[in-house]
């Protein structure tokens, strides 16, 4: 990345005096409601901030009527074509606003690890995330700490950072043929004008929502964003949160798991899944740094697009091209680090849904380097990243930096402890919905 740093930053000075095409250093940008950052440069249209975003600075005070409207729209199955699929269909409030991969399946049909869309046989090409705590995800920004050779990108929504705000993100599922299947904004307007949804928005957003497709999309995005930013979707009620508040103690296995989670030579999870277990503010423990990483998850051959061996979902580099970041290919294979709260409810993992349990995920991290054939077979290494981008894949961070023949970083007993800790991140409402699968008995340490 360092080779483009000078070229990326030089235009800031040049263009600042040419009509303000790029914001001058020292300007400010809002990364989240209430959370401001000083801009020191820009990479394309994306600001480079002087400091990392602190989610504890964010403040939310959405209008109650707008939240109520957003909640109603979130559950409205008329938004899809054909009708029947709501936002809540793939982000089930009973499953921590994540998917139930059994929903809508016909007899003998299996999910490929992603959620079913509005049409039979059409499944999303990425794993739908939980929407709990999504309000804390910042807008896209670059940051360079003192030890980094070049700025690194954080924030943005979707696995590839293709949406900058919640209001903007709403467009993606509405217009995706494998999800809610509206062909384009005009088609969406035609449908919602006919079924009465558009008219229900007039009182709040004005008559333009009945005649202008983009006005309708903005209205939907604004209302849904208000709901997603409400306190309802940020409960902070897990046993880990009780531990932070001094209201409960973690079990011995959970304490060991937390130590492994933070240990840079063991799990090393906290290097990307940020945790501050000495801070009483739970917002400081969202278990994501909102960054991106190229982990080379195994290829999910059950996904329809992957029937073509030439097809690859390269994540962030597509967004980098659209935003005209310098040398966008350096971001191919990168996807955004998800939060881990309520992760024990998930039925599939990784951006492509290729892994099916928490244990399998931890095994992948633990043995990707020591036993690559287990994950990629006898074919190409990193089989879901095009060979020309294999140099982007992280091979340096523990525990994935190990090589065949080296000992694994984690024992089976230690993986058990990590799973115990991750289960403690489940909010109180969802404890009963966790996978009944229990870790196998601990082996000798």
**Three-state SS string across the chain, please?**
CHHHHHHHHHHHHHHHCCCCCCCCCCCEEEEECCEEEEEEEEECCEEEECCCCCHHHCCCCCCHHHHHHHHHHHCCHHHCCCCCCCHHHHCEHHHCCECCCCCCCCCCCCCCCCCECCCCCCECCCCCCCCCCHHHCCCCEEECCCCCCCCEEECCECCCCCECCHHHHCHHHHHCCCCCCCCCHHHHHHHHHHCCHHHHHHHHHCHHHHCCHHHHHHHHHHHHHHHHCCHHHCCCCCHHHHHHCCCCCCCHHHHHHHHHHHCCCCCCHHHCCCCCCCCCCHHHCCCCCCCEECCCCCCCCCCHHHHCCCCCCCEHHHHHHHCCCCCHHHHCCEEECCCCCCHHHCCCECCCCCECCHHHHHHHHHHCCCCCHHHHCCCCCCCCCCHHHHHHCCCCCCCCCCCCCCCCCCCHHHHHHHHHHHHCCCCHHHHHHCCCCCCCCCCCC
Fold of the domain spanning 64-134+167-233: Cytochrome Bc1 Complex; Chain D, domain 2 (1.10.760)
Q: Are strands 335-336 and 292-293 parallel, antiparallel or unpaired?
A: antiparallel
Domain at 239-433, CATH class: mainly alpha
Global pTM reads 0.91
One fold for 64-134+167-233 and 239-433: yes
CB 160 within 8 A of CB 319: yes
Query: How would you write the pLDDT of the chain (445 residues) with one tens digit per residue?
Result: 333 332 333 333 222 222 223 334 569 999 999 999 999 999 999 999 999 999 999 999 989 999 999 999 999 999 999 999 999 999 999 999 999 999 999 999 999 999 999 999 999 999 999 999 999 999 999 999 988 899 999 999 999 999 999 999 999 999 999 999 999 999 999 999 999 999 999 999 999 999 999 999 999 999 999 999 999 999 999 999 999 999 999 999 999 999 999 999 999 999 999 999 998 899 999 999 999 999 999 999 999 999 999 999 999 999 999 999 999 999 999 999 999 999 999 999 999 999 999 999 999 999 999 999 999 998 889 999 999 999 999 999 999 999 999 999 999 999 999 999 999 999 999 999 998 765 555 554 4
Alpha carbons 60 and 170: distance in angstroms, whole number:
19
Annotated domain spans of the chain: 64-134+167-233, 239-433
Alpha carbons 64 and 226: distance in angstroms, whole number:
9
């Amino acid at each position: 990345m360092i080779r483009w740093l000078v070229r990326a930053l030089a235009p800031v000075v040049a263009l600042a005096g040419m009509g303000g095409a790029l914001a001058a250093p020292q300007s400010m940008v809002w990364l989240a409601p209430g959370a401001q950052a000083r801009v020191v440069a820009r990479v394309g249209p994306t600001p480079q901030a002087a400091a990392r975003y602190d989610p504890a600075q964010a403040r939310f005070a959405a209008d109650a009527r707008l939240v109520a409207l957003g909640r109603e729209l979130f559950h409205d199955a008329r938004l899809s074509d054909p009708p029947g699929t709501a936002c809540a269909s793939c982000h089930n409030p009973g499953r921590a606003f994540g998917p139930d991969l059994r929903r809508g399946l016909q007899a003998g049909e299996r999910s490929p690890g992603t959620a079913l869309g509005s049409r039979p046989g059409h499944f999303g090409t990425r794993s739908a995330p939980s929407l709990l705590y999504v309000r804390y995800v910042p807008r896209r920004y670059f940051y360079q700490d003192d030890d980094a050779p070049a700025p690194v990108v954080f924030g943005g929504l979707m696995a590839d950072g293709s949406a900058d705000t919640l209001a903007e993100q709403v467009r993606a599922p509405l217009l995706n043929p494998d999800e809610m299947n509206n062909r384009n904004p005009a088609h969406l307007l035609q449908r919602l004008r006919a079924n009465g949804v558009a008219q229900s928005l007039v009182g709040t957003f004005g008559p333009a929502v009945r005649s202008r497709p983009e006005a309708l999309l903005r209205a939907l995005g604004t209302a849904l964003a208000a709901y997603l930013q409400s306190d309802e979707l940020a409960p902070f009620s897990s046993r880990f949160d009780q531990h932070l508040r001094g209201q409960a103690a973690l079990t011995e296995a959970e304490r060991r798991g937390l130590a492994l989670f933070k240990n840079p030579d063991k799990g090393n999870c906290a290097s990307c899944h940020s945790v501050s277990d000495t801070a009483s503010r739970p917002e400081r423990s969202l278990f994501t740094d909102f960054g991106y990483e190229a982990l080379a998850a195994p290829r999910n051959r059950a996904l329809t697009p992957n029937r073509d061996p030439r097809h690859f979902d390269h994540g962030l580099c597509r967004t980098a091209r659209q935003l005209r970041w310098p040398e966008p290919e350096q971001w191919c294979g990168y996807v955004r680090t998800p939060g881990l709260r309520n992760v024990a409810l998930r039925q599939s993992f990784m951006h492509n849904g290729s892994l099916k349990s928490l244990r399998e995920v931890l095994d992948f991290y633990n043995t990707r380097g020591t036993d690559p054939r287990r994950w990629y077979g006898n074919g190409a290494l990193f089989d879901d990243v095009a060979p020309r981008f294999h140099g982007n894949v992280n091979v340096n961070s523990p525990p994935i930096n190990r090589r065949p023949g080296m000992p694994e970083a984690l024992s089976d007993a230690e993986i058990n402890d990590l799973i115990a800790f991750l289960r403690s991140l489940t909010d109180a409402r969802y404890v009963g919905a966790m996978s009944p699968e229990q870790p196998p008995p601990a082996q000798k340490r």
